[in-house]
Chains A and B, each alone.
Chain A
Amino acid sequence: MITAEQKPVTEIINYISPYRRILLVGCNECVTVCAAGGKKEVGILASVLHLHFLKQGKNLEIDEITLERQCDPEYVEELAPHIDRADAILSMACGCGVQTIASRYKEKIVFPAVNTKFMGASESQGIWAERCQGCGDCMLGITGGICPVARCSKHLLNGPCGGTSNGQCEIGPETDCAWRLIWERLKELGMEDRYEEIMEAKDWRPSGGAGPRKIIREDLSL
């Protein structure tokens, strides 16, 4: 999923201070799972903003809506009946959701309420870790299901660097050396020979090196 964290509340307050009627929009997808911008967080942020502005003597009107998916025009259309009432939109979705709203409702200013972080997986309750960088050419099939692009700090493709120490990365003891994990996994699978294969220099164009990426499925297009 795409992970996100709420922005500092003071930054959000600065964005919306000039406005009186706010449309606060959550998303039922990734940001709900990582507890950054779902229906629950929308309620909490609305209440926090009310606390701040009521203390200032300003009665902020906040409409709370949580869409099924903010990155999908079909669902963003559901905001249409509420747009006219709003002076500004505050989105709690990832950057994709914010931009989908911005492109549909061009006459309204949209502010992000979260910082989009990375594509990650849940390690345990309340902990999410980066697992994919969307390099566009997945190599998990040859690295035992552990990604050196996302999990090696240097994105090395042919074994660990000299900075690995007791299985940890030199950037900090909380980061496992991806290549140690890959080696252990390959050993478990009895596929150590894969480790000997030299990977050629990676083509980073599918990773974004060739500009913004797009998928076109003509069989699905209308």
Chain B
Amino acid sequence: MNNFEPEIVAFCCHYCAYTAADMAGSKRIFYPPNVKIIRVPCTGKVDAIHILKALEKGADGVYVAGCLEGDCHFKNGNTRAKHRVTYVQKYLNDLGWETQRVAMMNMSAGMGERFAGTAREFTEQIRQLGPNPIKIAARNPKEQAAI
């Protein structure tokens, strides 16, 4: 547990967060390598199933990073993404999972510092929560046999 390095999937909008990650790189701002970026044409393209599949496959945390509210390149894709994140959080809550494992972030293309900052904060938050419960269950075959 002490050596736990979270694996985090970040769905990043091509028009803002992905460019902000680029900006962070250009400015040599450090952000944790735990965050694996998946570029999407708009966060409106990210569906609940994508977030759930990431968790099912073992991601410890998932976030969707879209444009600032009201600034979506495709008008309201980020608002849709926010609703879908809430929708997944409701499921997680029903299942007894920590809802903080999924999150919605907003930033503009020029916010390299913010991208790095949110990546650090989210990684730290997931580090506190611990590994994805599925991974813990897989490591405890005893419990598995009892079920």
Contact = CB atoms under 8 A, between A and B. Distances in A.
B95 A52 contact: yes
B140 interface: yes
A57 B141 contact: yes
Interface stretch (A43-51, A142-150, A196-204): A43-51
Given A54-B134, A56-B147, A57-B143, A9 B48 contact: no
Interface in A1-58: 8-10, 40, 43-44, 47-48, 50-52, 54-58
A9 B137 contact: no
B52 A44 contact: yes
A48 B52 contact: yes
Contacts of B95: 9, 48, 51-52, 55
Given A9-B94, A57-B144, A57-B147, 6 more contacts: A10-B94, A47-B53, A51-B95, A56-B147, A57-B138, A58-B144
A10 B56 CA distance: 18
A186 B88 CA distance: 45
A43 B49 contact: yes
A220 to B, nearest CB: 39
Interface string B30-56: 000000000000000001110011011
Interface of A: 8-10, 40, 43-44, 47-48, 50-52, 54-58
Contact of B56 (A54, A56, A57, A58): A54
The B contact surface, by secondary structure, is helix
B110 interface: no
Interface in B94-147: 94-95, 97, 133-134, 137-138, 140-141, 143-144, 147
30 contacts: A8-B94, A9-B91, A10-B94, A40-B47, A40-B49, A43-B49, A44-B52, A47-B52, A48-B95, A50-B56, A51-B52, A51-B56, A51-B91, A51-B92, A51-B97, A51-B134, A52-B95, A54-B137, A55-B95, A55-B97, A55-B134, A56-B143, A56-B147, A57-B137, A57-B140, A57-B141, A57-B143, A57-B144, A58-B144, A58-B147
Contacts of A10: 94
B18 to A, nearest CB: 25
B120 to A, nearest CB: 26
A195 to B, nearest CB: 43
A44 to B, nearest CB: 5
A9 B95 CA distance: 8
Q: Which 9 A-B pairs have the closest CB atoms?
A: A57-B144, A47-B52, A57-B137, A54-B134, A55-B133, A9-B94, A43-B49, A52-B95, A50-B56
